Chain A
Amino acid sequence: MKTLVVENIVKHYDNQLLLDDISFEVQQDESVCLLGPSGSGKSTLLRIIAGLEQPESGRVVWKDEDITDKPPHQRKFSLMFQDYALFPHLMVRENIAFGLRMRGKIMNEINPIVDRSLAMVRMESFGQRRVSALSGGEQQRVALARALAPQPELLMLDEPLGALDRALREHLMSELRALLKEVDIPVIYVTHDQQEAFNIADRILVLHDSRILQSGKPSEVYTRPASPWLAEFFGFDNQIEGKVSKESPLLIDTPIGEIHSNCTANKFSTNDKVVLVVKPDALRLQLDGESEAFSGEVLDCIFSGGYYKMMVDMGDAVKFEFELDKEFPPGQKINFTLDPESVICYRKSQ
């Protein structure tokens, strides 16, 4: 069942186009992640769904009802803010109870819900603390409990882990994942961190240049980024332009030599101009001098925990970075081939 439908949303900010005809749907029970670099309009989109901002055109539809003009306090959506936006004048308990009080609940109903919410985020003993006395991780939990307490019909989270340090973030990420599976409502999660998106989401929407560039399961999106920009966004920096010299199997002529690709997403014909993305796991060492092998000089080899990051001079001033389980001293010449499975081919945009 389509629960939330966002249709053709357009929004400018300071005369800049921020959201250009954005449409997507969210199903009941689905966690959707809006992933994109900062400034891509993710948070604005959340605020439009929450009713805090008005789109210039387009509609927000909730269970077949157009709610575009409905004020935020009547929508029963919860939004957890990036810096939590806890009420500084209220205690932890009162912060969590706020949404319940606003919905007209009496104290007898509120107290057990607040207790449960505190237990859910494991903050039982913190009820009477001032929010200013909490650490970042504790504030994050209170904000989550506050967003969940009124039993919203839709939960939105705006960079909920963005303000935390890395160790805490990884710890809370798995907790959050478990919690979101528990609550039986659609979730929209905004982040710029792919790791977070992969962990949390059932589906990822990548937002860039005011449009949704790709949408799909986390594994799909990662293994087959839809454009060179997306490939680079996911950290695939080895890119080179070339021209198709053979259609099947696909062979591309590049300044550093001919490269095979098993890319089947598009049909290419001879002489098409293309961009190749070579993933960092593409390198296969070649010990006996095979004719098709590349040769390059190791520029740098850095231990990165579990693997080595190796910078290789591919010739013609092109440098590629690979991930390897072996260390090579800088200056060493190596021979290798590139696995066609790990080479993605894109038509060059005009």
Chain B
Amino acid sequence: MIQKSNWKRDLSILAVPLIFLIIFYLLPLAEIARVTISRIKLNEIGRAVNWQMVFSAFSFTFYQATLSTLLTIGIGLPAAWLFGRFKFKGKNALRIASTLPFILPTVVVAAGFSALIGPRGWINVLLMQLMGLTVPPIRIMNSLLAILLAHVFYNTSIMIRVVGAALAQFDQRMEDAARTLGASSWQAFFKVTFPNLLPSILSSVLLVFLFDFTSFGVILMLGGPQFSTLEVEIYIQTVQFLNLPLAGALSLIQLLFTMLMTLMLMRLGDSAFADPIMPRMQEENMRSPRSTWEKTFTTGIIAILLLLLVSPVAALVFKSLLVEGSQGSELSMRYFLELFSNRRQSYFYVPPFQALLNSLRFAFVSSLVSLFLGLLLSYGLRANSRFNRWVEWLMMFPLGTSAVTLGLGFFIFFFRGTGSARWYPWLIPMAHSLISLPFVLRVVQPVLRSIPVNIHWAAATLGASPLGIIRRVDLPILWRSFMTAALYAFTISLGEFGATSFLSRPDLPTIPVAIFRYLGLPGSINYGQAMAMAVIILVVCVISMLALDQLQYQTFRDKA
């Protein structure tokens, strides 16, 4: 039975999250629009905005997103098929490994690709030694290829997750029925299986495109100065030139497109957002590859996935541990130890270790905030009233807003001269909370909704007060999804770069900001420190991914 609506009660629960959304989302966005439009009125926009540049940024954004998406489909669909249809040795390990990119911060991915294919990367080092060269022979850093590779690395896991899960859930008896009705195996696939998978394919493609379209860190760090997407241009115009009207115009265009895509995604059904990490798949539909063709297919895809998923990560780890000395390289923890010292030529006023502490602190605060808001929202939105559906929609909007746009909004709305310097850094966890809130909501709300109202009634008739019901029934049932949501919020905050890059100060850097800076500095010590910091985040991400998988596994086991 559906919870009766009681709008007074709901509104009082929803008041805090709504005020949060207004202050930290709607008002900053409105301020972007106001600043941009007021300049248009003053007729300054013609001077401030170079429309040629806007157009070229937009068309490049679109172009690279399309290319990246096509490449991702090329690898992701076969990989989804592999996971949705076949059993093979090491499947579970590969499944967990393929979820890693989903939570890995862009700076870490950028560092990984730099360690693999950059001028100091393994491939170049190896080739230089083999061929006796003094300059790196492979120059795909700062090229479109590097961007595309990183995007494929990132988004293949989305296709595996969404399409693979749909495939595993697909009732294969439908295919069998088609075969007994006279369809060939190809006909059965195209007339029965494919149409049933189409919604999940479409929504995963759209999601991949959205992520590619709003990609920021990857393009900034792997693309180099000659490639500028809308996101990168917003950042450069704000941080380097303080051309706020232009940045505002760009982010309004960006917002329009991302909102459009988010709305399309929501219309398609939210399978893509529904279970944020890779679900366990039922084994019923799985079998070992039999024919030669199937064996070649599975081996090939496994090899590609291993190469794609493992090599940048492995390259990163080895780079951080192999210290370049005068007599060649040796295994050492020196780069890690360097993180504690504050070198004079350093960009920051503080040692990089301090950045790690800052990041942990921000991540802790932002997970607390987003969990608190998520819990209030989940309780407030239990009834299925029109007002609640409206609030639910509103809360999903930050998903369709790029982190950079959010950062710009915060920058324009909150920056009030030097006096604001003291409280300004606390905007960082607020921005992170806003970014992780939709995820938290998606994790907690369905579980709370799935608790039958009968169970609340049973507790009440057995003598539990309303608060007692929350404490003794809801929270114990919710704790697993709570932990899941907390881990999400924590890792999202730890790796967040787009919004943070607008809000961090040199004396209060976060670790992704520090990695970005150190990657751009000359000298092997700086480079090594960037690698070491990226490895620390990587380790945190791996731990939280394993924990997430374990939580998911327990839930799966309980349901079975």
Contact = CB atoms under 8 A, between A and B. Distances in A.
A72 B457 CA distance: 8
Interface in B421-475: 452, 454-455, 457-465, 468, 472-473
B114 to A, nearest CB: 46
> Which of B462, B463, B472, B558 has the most A CB atoms < 10 Å from its CB?
B462
A331 to B, nearest CB: 41
Secondary structure type dominating chain B contacts: helix
A73 interface: yes
Nearest to A130: B558
Contacts of B468: 73, 102
Contacts of A83: 452, 454
A347 interface: no
Contacts of A51: 460-461
A31 interface: no
Nearest to B454: A85
B461 A79 contact: yes
A150 interface: yes
A102 B452 contact: no
B174 interface: no
Interface string B295-306: 000000000000
Nearest to B480: A89
Contact of B458 (A76, A85, A89): A85
Contacts of A71: 460, 465
> Which of B452, B458, B459, B461 has the most A CB atoms < 10 Å from its CB?
B461
B193 to A, nearest CB: 32
Interface string A74-108: 11111101110111111000000011001100000
A163 to B, nearest CB: 12
B456 to A, nearest CB: 9
B457 A89 contact: no
Interface in A140-157: 146, 150
A78 B452 contact: no
A89 B458 CA distance: 14
B462 A52 contact: no
A271 interface: no
Contacts of A146: 458, 462
B461 A50 contact: yes
A87 B457 contact: no
A230 to B, nearest CB: 28
Contacts, number: 73
A332 interface: no
B50 to A, nearest CB: 59
A28 interface: no
B461 A77 contact: yes
Given A50-B457, A73-B468, A85-B457, A150 B558 contact: no
Interface string B305-348: 00000000000000000000000000000000000000000000
A68 to B, nearest CB: 16
B51 to A, nearest CB: 56
Given A50-B457, A79-B458, A98-B459, A73 B465 contact: yes
A286 interface: no
Contacts of A85: 452, 454-455, 457-458
A81 B454 contact: yes
A52 B461 contact: yes
A82 B452 CA distance: 12
Given A52-B461, A72-B460, A89 B452 contact: no
Contacts of A88: 455, 477, 558
B558 to A, nearest CB: 6
B462 A98 contact: yes
B559 to A, nearest CB: 8
A148 to B, nearest CB: 11
A279 B558 CA distance: 52
Contacts of A38: none
A79 to B, nearest CB: 4
A292 B454 CA distance: 59
A82 B473 CA distance: 19
B476 interface: yes
Contacts of B476: 89-90
B461 A72 contact: yes
A39 B63 CA distance: 59
Given A88-B477, A102-B468, A132-B558, A78 B454 contact: no
Nearest to A76: B463
B558 A79 contact: no
Contact of A150 (B457, B462, B473, B477): B462
Interface in A38-59: 47, 50-52
B461 A89 contact: no
A52 B465 contact: no
Contacts of B460: 50-52, 71-73
Contacts of A150: 462-463
Interface string B3-14: 000000000000
A102 B464 contact: yes
Interface in A268-310: none
> Which of B458, B459, B477 has the most A CB atoms < 10 Å from its CB?
B458
A88 B457 CA distance: 14
Given A73-B464, A73-B465, A102-B464, A52 B459 contact: no
Given A73-B468, A132-B558, A81 B458 contact: yes
A102 B462 contact: yes
A307 B468 CA distance: 56
Contact of A87 (B461, B465, B473): B473
Interface string A120-162: 0000000000001000000000000010001000000000000
A183 B460 CA distance: 22
Contacts of A78: 461-462
A297 B558 CA distance: 60
Nearest to A74: B463
> Which of A50, A98, A102 has the most B CB atoms < 10 Å from its CB?
A102
B447 to A, nearest CB: 11
Nearest to A102: B463
Contacts of B463: 73-74, 76, 99, 102-103, 150
> Which of A86, A87, A90 has the most B CB atoms < 10 Å from its CB?
A87
The 3 closest A-B pairs by CB, nearest first: A102-B463, A99-B462, A85-B454
Given A99-B462, A102-B472, 14 more contacts: A47-B457, A50-B461, A73-B460, A73-B464, A73-B465, A74-B463, A81-B458, A82-B454, A83-B454, A86-B458, A87-B473, A102-B462, A102-B463, A150-B463
8 contacts: A52-B457, A71-B460, A73-B464, A79-B457, A79-B458, A85-B454, A98-B459, A99-B462
Interface of A: 47, 50-52, 71-79, 81-83, 85-90, 98-99, 102-103, 132, 146, 150
